[in-house]
Amino acid sequence: MTEAQRKVFLVLIGFILLLASVIGVVIFLSRRKPPEGDVAKPTDPEALGAAPAGSVIAAPAGSIIAAPAGSITVAEASLMSGGQAGKLDDEFAASKTLKEALLQTEKTLFGRIKTLFKGGSAHQHFEALEEILYTSDLGPQTVERLMAAVKTKLSKSEAGDISLVKESLAEEFKLIFKSADVSEAAPDQLMSHLQLSAKPAVWMVVGVNGAGKTTSIGKLAAHLARSGKKVLVAAGDTFRAAAGNQLKVWTERAQVEIFSPDGVKDPSAVAYDAIAKAKAQGYDVVIIDTAGRLHTQANLMEELKKMKRVMGKVIAEAPHETLIVLDANSGQNALLQAKEFHQALILSGVILTKMDGTAKGGVAVGIANELKIPIRLIGVGEKIGDLRPFSSKDFADSILY
């Protein structure tokens, strides 16, 4: 090897070594764990499992039901890295106004009355008005009452203009809701008409499957927790295996505690133990979820009656509220359900859900008129903030004016 060849060889070796060390440094840097605080969004479930108890899992609306047991979506995971509270606040804030939520009712029921009376006098359209009311989920008894009121009002007027019809309907609604003890509540007074004075206050939530019990409990629990109450939610729907998981996700979103003992199939036992725990540990409110269906429909009412009796063994006055959840879209069926549950359990109030859907809303008037059970809350969507206090004045205003 000549001197020149030797030099070229050495330079080549030097270059290769330099290249190797540069590659080494690059690999080292790329594999190095980023410093703390740089980790933006943990996405693997293991990491999330280590999240502190009670951390919020705010899933997008609708994803709750579909999520397999214990799983956490990427969207949920991204929230775990911080900003949960902000997201929860967003959910509360982003909700519809009552007027927006009742848009469907306005379109289907009273919107039709408005167009009906665009021309001519109310006298001419009397039959058409009756037909509209009959198809608005009010129930025959309530339609008759309303028609009688309209008739009386119109008998005093030759012209019979639309404002008289509205006036008489509004007045009659007011009377009906008053007789059912529906009180006025400001939009921010969600709980003002629910029993909260006892400690713990025990609320039993009943209704058929799919009505929105679990969802409404989640929303209620979130509002209560937000106002500083210590809340325990009992998983009393032991019939459906998925029910417990769904409730768990909701309680995590609401940042409240769930009582769901493993392997306990007797809903009365769950209710009893939950109330006993709440009493011993200073909880403010216990909300008890229940099944909408058992193996046979006939047994459901007996089971619920038993649950109610058993609750009274821990706290004599419990449950302080027996709330039925009704899907407003189920029309006259909702009225029948309310009747059946009321007969068995003596209901204290109604939560009318899915008013954001194609609900005609008339069922609220029908229930108040026939059963004298107050409508307390309405569900206007699937988000945590989509729960509104029912206000008879707002209800009448938003559909008549």
Ligand X SMILES: Nc1nc2c(ncn2[C@@H]2O[C@H](COP(=O)(O)OP(=O)(O)O)[C@@H](O)[C@H]2O)c(=O)[nH]1
User: How far is residue 169's CA from residue 124's CA, in Å, rounded to a whole number?
Assistant: 17
Which residues pair with residue 379 across a beta bridge? Answer: 387
In angstroms, what is the minimal distance from the CB of 210 to ligand X? Answer: 5
Q: What b/e sequence results for 271-303 when a residue is b if at least 16 CB atoms lie within 10 Å of its CB, and e otherwise?
A: bbebbebbbeeebbbbbbbbbbebeeeeebbeb
Q: Which residue has the tokens 């007969």?
A: 343
Decide if residue 168 touches Mg ion (CB under 5 A).
no
293 or 393: CB nearest ligand X: 293
Smallest distance, ligand X to C-beta of residue 209, A: 5
The torsion of the CA quartet 187, 192, 193, 199, rounded to 10 degrees, works out to 150
- DSSP summary character for residue 329: G
Q: Which does 357 bind (CB under 5 to 8 A by kind): Mg ion, ligand X, none?
A: ligand X
381 binds, among Mg ion, ligand X, none (CB under 5 to 8 A by kind): ligand X
Q: Looking at beta carbons only, is 160 or 244 nearer to ligand X?
A: 244
For ligand X, the closer of residues 361 and 379 by Cβ is 379
- Tell me the pairing of strands 201-206 and 321-327: parallel
Residues 6+ apart with CB under 8 A from 324: 205, 206, 207, 337, 338, 341, 342, 347, 349, 350, 351, 373
The residue (of 169 and 325) whose beta carbon lies closer to ligand X is 325
Closer residue to Mg ion (CB): 215 or 369: 215
Rounded to the nearest whole angstrom, what is the least distance from the CB of residue 299 to Mg ion in the complex?
A: 18
Q: State the nearest-atom distance from the C-beta of 242 to ligand X, in Å.
A: 9
Residue 382: name its binding partner from ligand X, Mg ion, none (Cβ under 5 to 8 Å by kind).
ligand X
Q: Decide which of Mg ion, ligand X, none touches 257; Cβ closer than 5 to 8 Å per partner kind.
A: none
CB neighbours of residue 223 within 10 Å:
19
Site string for Mg ion, 333-352 (x = CB under 5 A): --------------------
Candidate list 108, 136, 142, 214; residue touching Mg ion; CB under 5 A:
214
Summarize as ranges the residues that interact with ligand X (CB under 6 A): 65, 207, 209-215, 292, 325, 353-354, 356-357, 379-382, 386
Residue placing its CB nearer to ligand X in the complex, 174 or 240: 240
3 state DSSP class of 387: strand
User: Smaller CB distance to ligand X: residue 87 or 145?
Assistant: 87
Binds 211, which of ligand X, Mg ion, none (CB < 5 to 8 A, cut-off by type)? ligand X
Q: By three-state DSSP, how is residue 378 classified?
A: strand
Backbone angles phi, psi at 161, to 5 degrees: -85, 160
User: From the CB of 55, what's the least distance to Mg ion, in Å?
Assistant: 23
Q: Which amino acid is at 87?
A: K
**In the complex, least distance from residue 327 CB atom to ligand X, rounded to whole angstroms:** 7
> Taking CB positions, which residue lies at the least distance from ligand X?
379
Q: How far is the CB of 344 from ligand X (least distance, A)?
A: 17
Stretch that binds Mg ion, among 105-113, 136-144, 196-204, 213-221 (CB under 5 A): 213-221
Q: Which is nearer to Mg ion, 129 or 235 (CB)?
A: 235
C-alpha dihedral, 126 to 131 to 135 to 138, nearest 10°: 50
β-strand partners of 353: 327
Question: Which of the listed partners (ligand X, Mg ion, none) does 380 bind, with a CB threshold of 5 to 8 Å by partner kind?
Answer: ligand X
Restricted to residues 217-276, the positions that interact with Mg ion (CB under 5 A) are 243
- Annotate 150-173 with b (16+ C-beta within 10 A) or e (fewer): beebbeeeeebebebbbebbbebb
Distance (Å, whole) CA 141 – CA 122:
22
Minimum distance, C-beta of residue 216 to ligand X, in the bound complex (Å): 6
Would you say 275 and 309 are in contact if contact means Cβ atoms under 8 Å apart?
Answer: no
Nearer to ligand X, 77 or 378 (CB): 378
Query: Residue 42 or residue 210: which is nearer to ligand X going by CB?
Result: 210
Going by C-alpha positions, the residue among 158, 154, 159, 104 that lies closest to residue 130 is 154
Residue 209 contacts which entry, ligand X, Mg ion, none (Cβ below 5-8 A, type-dependent): ligand X
Minimum distance of ligand X from residue 291's CB (angstroms): 9
* DSSP single-letter state for residue 265: -
- Which residues contribute to the site for Mg ion (CB under 5 A)? 213-214, 243
